Structure 1
Amino acid sequence: MSLLTMSAQLAEGFLITVEIFVLTLLFSLPLGLIVAFGRMSGCKVIRIISKIYISIMRGTPLMLQIIVVYFAPFYVFRMQVGTGYRFLAVILAFVINYAAYFAEIYRAGIESIPVGQYEAAEVLGYSKAQTFVKIILPQVVKRVLPPVTNETITLVKDTSMAFTISIAEMFTVAKQIGAAQTSVLPLLAAGVFYYIFNLVVASFMEYLEKKTSYYR
C-alpha cells in the first residue's frame, strides 16, 4: 500500500472522528443544560428522574452504552435495524453520555452563583428569565468553561470507542492498515492526528476562556 493510499484512508477515518466529535457536542451541550434544569427542578419527580439518568450515564462504561443503544431496538422492541443505524447509535450513545457530564458541570456552575445576585436582580425588577440570561448565564459560562474544556478534550479520545460496533473512525482504520501492513506507522500517524486535533480543540477553548475573562 502506497503512502498516498494510506493517507487517504486515514483521512476518511479522521472525517468520521470529526463528525462524531462535532455532532456529540452539538446535541449534548444543550441537552446537558436541559438535564441540569431538571436536576434543579422544584418538581421532585423530575429531579429524581434527572438524578437517576445522570447516575446511570456516569456510572456505566461508554462502551456498554454504545452496545445497548445499538442492540436494544432489536432485542427489546424486535425492531429490525440496518447497518446504517450504527453511526446513529454511536451519536445517540455519545450524546446521552456526555449530556450527563455536562449537566453536572452546568449545575455546579449555576449553584455557585451567590443567592444575593438573584435577590438584587429581583429588586431591580428583572424577571427570572432576564436574571438568568443577563446576569447569571455570563458568569456561569466563565465558570464552567475549564471543566467543559476537559470533557471536550476527553471526547476527542473517546471517539475511538466507536469501534465497538464497527464504525471505521480514525483509530479503527489505523489498526486495520497496521494489521494488513504489519507496521506501526499507521498507528503513529493516527496518534499524531489525535494530538493535533486535541491541540486545536484546546487552543479554541482557551481562546473562549480569554474572551469571557470579563465575567468573574
Structure 2
Amino acid sequence: MNLDYIIQIGKPMLEGAQTTILLFFIAIIASIPLGFALTLMARSSVKPLAWFAGVYIYVMRGTPLLLQMLFICFGLPVLPVIGEYLVFDRFVAACLAFVLNYAAYFAEIFRGGLLSIDKGQYEAAQVLGLSRWQTMVRVILPQMFRVALPAVSNESITLIKDTALLYAVAVPELLHFAHTAVNRDFTIMPFVIAGIIYLLMTLVLTLLFKYLERRFKFQ
C-alpha cells in the first residue's frame, strides 16, 4: 500500500466529504431554529399547537431516520393525487429528512434547557419591567443555550456520523466512494481513510463546542 494509492482514492473521498459537510451545515442551520419553534409550540397555551408539536416530536424521535429518508425519497412520490408534486432530488429529500428529524431532537434539548431555568428568573424580569420578548431574548435564551450546549454538541457529532445514511439513497458522499474503492481494489484501506476523515470532522466539532462551552461558562 503506497502513498500514490492513498492519494488516488483520497481525492474522490474528499469530494464526497464535501457533500457530507454540506448536508451537515444545511441540517444544523435549519433544524436548530425549527427545533426551538417546536419547543415554543409544545409549551404554548394553544392546545392544537401544543398537541401538534407533541405528536410531531414523538413520531420523528420514535421512527428511524433512515425510514423517514426513504419515505420522503420513495414514498411521497407514490401518494395518490399529490405524489407527482412531491418528487425531490435525492440530496434535497435527504436534507429534508435530516432537518425534520433533528428538529425534533433539538426541540427536546431546548425543552430541557427551558425547564432548568428557575421561575424566579421570569418574575425578576417582570419586576424590572421587561416585556415577554425582552425577557426571552435577554434573560431566558442565554441561560437556556448555556445549559443546552453540551447536548447540542453531542447531537451535532451524531449528525455528522448520520450523514453516512446518504449512502442508502445513492447520494455520492464519503462512504459511497470508500465502499466503491473497497469493492474495486479488494482492500480495507478506503474504509480506514474514511474513518480518519470522519474522526477529523468530529474533532473539529468537538474543539469548537468545547470553546463555546468555556466561553459561555464564564459569562
TM-score after normalising by structure 2:
0.94
Given residue 84 of structure 2, which amino acid in structure 1 is its aligned partner?
Answer: M
Q: Which residue, 176, 180, 184 being the options, matches 2:184?
A: 180
Alpha-carbon separation, structure 1, partners of 2:8 and 2:196: 18
Provide Cα deviations, 1:154-194, integer angstroms capped at 9, x if missing partner.
Answer: 01110001111101111111011111111100000000000
Alpha-carbon separation, structure 1, partners of 2:58 and 2:193: 37
Q: Say if 2:24 is the partner of 1:27.
A: no
Structure 1 unaligned spans of 5+: none
Q: Which residue, 173, 192, 198 being the options, matches 2:196?
A: 192
SS in 2 for 1:79: helix
Distance change (3 Å), C-alpha of 1:80 and 1:111: closer
Q: Which residue, 63, 68, 71 being the options, matches 1:68?
A: 71
Q: Which residue, 152, 157, 162 being the options, matches 2:156?
A: 152
Alpha-carbon separation, structure 1, partners of 2:76 and 2:116: 40
- Bigger CA drift: 71-80 or 181-190? 71-80
Q: Say if 2:183 is the partner of 1:169.
A: no
Given residue 34 of structure 1, which amino acid in structure 2 is its aligned partner?
Answer: A
Given residue 208 of structure 1, which amino acid in structure 2 is its aligned partner?
Answer: L
Cα displacement (A) at 1:72:
3.0
Structure 2 unaligned spans of 5+: none
Alpha-carbon separation, structure 2, partners of 1:80 and 1:54: 26
Provide Cα deviations, 1:48-84, integer angstroms capped at 9, x if missing partner.
Answer: 10000000000000100000111233111231777x7
Cα displacement (A) at 1:214:
2.5
Alpha-carbon separation, structure 2, partners of 1:193 and 1:203: 15
Q: CA RMSD in A?
A: 1.5
TM-score after normalising by structure 1:
0.95
Given residue 197 of structure 2, which amino acid in structure 1 is its aligned partner?
Answer: F
Given residue 148 of structure 2, which amino acid in structure 1 is its aligned partner?
Answer: V
Cα displacement (A) at 1:4:
3.0
